[in-house]
Structure 1
């Protein structure tokens, strides 16, 4: 029974869609910065997910030089704080018209800004687990299940042309289980990790122009 649950826990579905608006490419002395959108009132793109995508883009074949998000935000203060960050490429164009902004961007070697926007949502919770303690010991019995959906958009801006060059969407869904026979054994669908991996792979290829 536990083996069956373990097999189910690994059943995560991930879909990646790409929309390209222009040709891309990057040289060895150019960098990418990945920033999380945090203007929404009901959620923020988690910094851990941003870091995950950046780490995966920076290693392996076709690795990209990625500037850490917080290092970039601190270095560009106050222009990329959540309340002041550019929402559109024309906002970026206005920022780059300021010599101090253009100089700092050049110091970082930024060729592309990638804006990540999204979150992971848990839905469809079912089942229940009860735990008891008695003279002979204690234990938990029952079964729980829920669905996780991780949906993230990546919008790529070319700092050289001050235009948006494409969008990539990653959507990962999976079912998690919590069977309890004396001891609860969580079998978690790693939807956010899968979304990170697939999105980073697609972004790396996109930036490299392949």
Structure 2
């Protein structure tokens, strides 16, 4: 019998105790059937026209890495590479911001032919961000002859809300939309040493959105 790794057990228990509770909700709206063949690539683009916020590059990278991971990972095409290949149509100043504009773009002479050369079958627009929606508490820290210490309690609630709009560039159809919303409360109690208990809402939204996108593209809804 192998000896029990107490260090690993303690580390896992500590991680569990120091992770805040997260509630995630994934919703899907499918407009038409999908399917993906060998050689079909997926590109993720971010909506950069919103003046109030910008979808984080780290979140987009997380979704892309999740889609590409595993034995059944999807073939991903880089965002910057795709934008350069399709210049200037998907640059922030020219990119379509709604379904009608997207269809008009795909109907322009030469656009679908250029897309076919990239090998990209599905385009995923991701829009959204993570925000602090509530919080409270207070904390004070002091430094004295006997040492330093913090006392108090703080908390904050994060909402990670993202939406993926999926286009089939082969049929030029908007095939569906998937949304992910994760809410969680983080805590920072301090008795001498602050101990953060973090609710990883962005990570939960990334994993849930990527998992649903993969199922959406690969699965045949008629089965």
Normalising by the residue count of structure 2, what TM-score does the alignment of the two structures yield?
Answer: 0.86
CA shift in 2, pair 1:133/1:53, >3 Å = same
Q: Is 1:40–2:32 an aligned residue pair? A: no
- 1:72 is matched with 82
1:148-205: CA deviation from partner (whole Å, max 9, x where unpaired)? 1101111111111211111111010111011112121211110000100010000001
From 54, 58, 66, the equivalent of 1:56 is 66
- 1:194 is matched with 204
Q: Is 1:27–2:48 an aligned residue pair? A: no
Q: Is 1:130–2:140 an aligned residue pair? A: yes
The CA distance in 2 between the partners of 1:47 and 1:74, in whole Å, is 17
Quick check: 2:112–2:169 contact (8 Å CA) kept in 1? Answer: no
By how many angstroms is 1:8 displaced? 7.4
- 2:98 is matched with 88
The CA distance in 2 between the partners of 1:164 and 1:96, in whole Å, is 11
The CA distance in 2 between the partners of 1:181 and 1:104, in whole Å, is 61
Structure 1 unaligned residues grouped into runs of 5+: none
By how many angstroms is 1:87 displaced? 2.1
- 2:183 is matched with 173
RMSD: 2.0
The CA distance in 2 between the partners of 1:67 and 1:5, in whole Å, is 34
The CA distance in 2 between the partners of 1:178 and 1:78, in whole Å, is 47
